[in-house]
Amino acid sequence: MAISPFEERYKTEMNAIFEEENKLRKWMDVEIALAKAHASLGTIPKDAVGKLEAASKKVKSERVKEIESEIHHDLMAMVRALSEQAGDAGKYVHLGATSYDIEDTATALIFLDAIGLLEKHLSGFAEVLRSIAIKHKKTVCIGRTHGQHAVPTTYGLKFAIYYQECLRNLERLHEARKRIGVGKMSGATGTMATFLGNGGKIQAAVMKNLGLAAAKTSNQVIQRDRHAEVLFVLALVAAMLEKIAKEIRNLQRTEILEVSEPFGAKQVGSSTMPQKRNPHKSERVCSIARLVRANVQIALENISLEHERDLTNSANERVIFAESFIATDYMLGEMSKILGGLEFFEENIKKNLELTNGLIMAERLMIFLVANKNMGRQEAHEKVRQLAQDAFRQGAHLRDVVKKAGLGLSDKELNELFNPNTYIGEAERIVEEATK
């Protein structure tokens, strides 16, 4: 039975990339690349490479675990299992390398695969955001600042903002590729001493074979700032998803109810309150986002290893790498489904625009007085502020209070000034340009 929910409940395609079997295969890929580099320099027989490649296909994870239970070293267990299958070529396995030459280089390969999958899913999510932004570019709604009604905006603009942030996160993932797609073959302290003067050539050949860049400097490990950067980008993606999920949760409140995440015909909202339509999927996204952010702190602490390295990063990286990628991928899938079935309640959107009896149009009135009634900006602001406070205290519509104030505004001007649908500025153009 699985202990982690990421093994079952929150499992995605990403799991396969971080499973032990795939890690084992990546380790052996690096070992074979190392053997090819040696063979190209004549330090091992050329036919040894073919034998090692054939042997790697016969290695079973069960045998590796059996050896590890005896020697308590997972990488060396793989080396012995591979050597067992390779016959006389087994003596060339792991020649000149230290464990993290193999492990960190394999981790780079795993990270690149994981980033590739995440880029694919994030690109798909961006298209979901883009389509909603375009569809609702004219859907006028109330904007809120400090939890209070501000001035009108559009749902298209809300989602165009999310779309642009999503594109920035795609850029960040692409940038992170350059710094995480790096391997090493430099030995116990980074000096390449075991390669007897051929270290630079061997490292270059190994990385070329694997499609990685070679670390210009390293000690026993690839420096952990690279991994921390990737996890930070994942946290930014998670934060974006939480931002959208939180907005849905707030807009789904009973008192607001402008949008709602989809609710299935047989879905149960509460074990005791049959009427409930809880936004539990959005809440789940917000919950998991906290986990991804928390893992960044661990990754940052892993940067400051002692001297040429200690082992304090190793155990937690077995958790935080896979967990962060799987969690982020899961959230992307959930949010794509939520937004794919997002419900809009047009009547409530319109009702909320009128909820404050025209107070949301106070800014527009102030600007109009400055532009058309020869008032200074500060004078107009104070005048409208007073009228707005009067309207609030009286429970009256601001338009009626303004009409009685004798500001010389015609009914036609007042009707236009207090029409929220005509006060969205350049929102439509902004959405169109942002979603090109």
Domain architecture of the chain: domains with CATH:
11-95 (1.10.275.10), 359-417 (1.10.40.30)
Q: What percent of the chain has pLDDT above 90?
A: 94
- Confidence band (pLDDT; 50, 70, 90) for 319? very high
CA nearest neighbour of 327 among 121, 42, 38: 121
Instruction: Tell whether the model's pLDDT for residue 14 goes beyond 80.
Output: yes
pLDDT for the residue numbered 386: 97
**Please, what is the average pLDDT of the chain?**
96
210-224: pLDDT as tens digits: 999 999 999 999 999
Q: What percent of the chain has pLDDT above 70?
A: 100
Instruction: Tell whether the model's pLDDT for residue 367 goes beyond 80.
Output: yes
Instruction: Tell whether the model's pLDDT for residue 1 goes beyond 90.
Output: no
Average pLDDT over residues 22-31: 98
Q: How far apart are CA 18 and CA 21, in angstroms?
A: 8
Instruction: Tell whether the model's pLDDT for residue 122 goes beyond 90.
Output: yes
Instruction: Tell whether the model's pLDDT for residue 430 goes beyond 90.
Output: yes
pLDDT for the residue numbered 242: 98
- Confidence band (pLDDT; 50, 70, 90) for 272? confident
Q: How far apart are CA 98 and CA 406, in angstroms?
A: 86
- Confidence band (pLDDT; 50, 70, 90) for 370? very high
Average pLDDT over residues 230-234: 98
CA nearest neighbour of 82 among 96, 72, 92: 92
Query: pTM here?
Result: 0.94
pLDDT for the residue numbered 358: 97
pLDDT for the residue numbered 200: 96
pLDDT for the residue numbered 270: 80
387-403: pLDDT as tens digits: 999 999 999 999 999 99
pLDDT for the residue numbered 267: 83
Match 């993290």 to its residue by tokens: 100
Average pLDDT over residues 337-354: 97
Largest CA distance in the chain: 102
pLDDT for the residue numbered 305: 95
Instruction: Tell whether the model's pLDDT for residue 141 goes beyond 90.
Output: yes
pLDDT for the residue numbered 263: 85
User: What's phi and psi for 146, nearest 5 deg?
Assistant: 60, 25
- Confidence band (pLDDT; 50, 70, 90) for 271? confident
Catalytic residues: 146, 270
Instruction: Tell whether the model's pLDDT for residue 266 goes beyond 90.
Output: no
pLDDT for the residue numbered 395: 96
Instruction: Tell whether the model's pLDDT for residue 273 goes beyond 90.
Output: no
Q: What is the DSSP string of 147-189?
A: TEEEEEEEHHHHHHHHHHHHHHHHHHHHHHHHHHSEE----SS
Average pLDDT over residues 70-85: 97
Distances (CA, A) of 293 to 15, 164, 225, 236, 358: 19, 21, 16, 8, 41
290-301: pLDDT as tens digits: 999 999 999 999
Contacts of 69 (CB under 8 A, 6+ apart): none
Contacts of 170 (CB under 8 A, 6+ apart): 119, 122, 123, 126
- Confidence band (pLDDT; 50, 70, 90) for 268? confident
Instruction: Tell whether the model's pLDDT for residue 275 goes beyond 90.
Output: no
Instruction: Tell whether the model's pLDDT for residue 81 goes beyond 90.
Output: yes
Instruction: Tell whether the model's pLDDT for residue 104 goes beyond 80.
Output: yes
- The CA dihedral of 106, 110, 111, 114, to the nearest 10 degrees, is 180
Average pLDDT over residues 58-74: 96
User: What is the Rg, in whole angstroms, of the alpha carbon atoms belonging to the chain?
Assistant: 30
